[in-house]
Amino acid sequence: MKAKETIIAWTPNTEHYNSYATKGLVKVGPLIADGMPDWTSGYRMTGGAAYINIRSIEGWQAKAMVLTEFVTIVVRDLVDPAVAHRAFIEIDEYAEIIAEDIEGAR
């Protein structure tokens, strides 16, 4: 899935979000078209193509955006890096920039 077509949804792994079933989880999925259910509704944060300006980026800019989102989720929001990785591996640009010996690299 291309970054410009992917919404990233997560709930931070911090005490403030203890009451959320999605605390510490990350999910990536497609843009939500009219009439589609909002698959992000259980998550507290969204990124990626949830923002209109992201929907036109490609190449190195898309790769930089994906890496920035990953670092934000892991460092600021304390989500386990392995949890974030398993979700992000669905994003083409992420799978292309990680080391080739990491599971899921393309």
Residues 8 and 47 sit within 8 Å (Cβ to Cβ): yes
- pLDDT value at position 73? 98
| Structural domain containing residue 64 | 3-97
Inside any domain, residue 104: no
- Average pLDDT, integer, range 53-74: 96
How many separate domains does the chain show?
A: 1
Inside any domain, residue 102: no
Inside any domain, residue 17: yes
Inside any domain, residue 86: yes
What is the DSSP secondary-structure string of 3-42?
Answer: GGGEEEEEB--SGGGTT-TTBT-EEEEE---TTS--TTTT
Q: For 19-58, how does the pLDDT look when each residue is reduced to its tens digit (9 = 90+)? A: 999 999 999 999 998 888 999 999 999 999 999 999 999 9
- Written as one letter, the residue type at 70 is F
pTM, 2 dp: 0.93
Inside any domain, residue 92: yes
Inside any domain, residue 103: no
Inside any domain, residue 49: yes
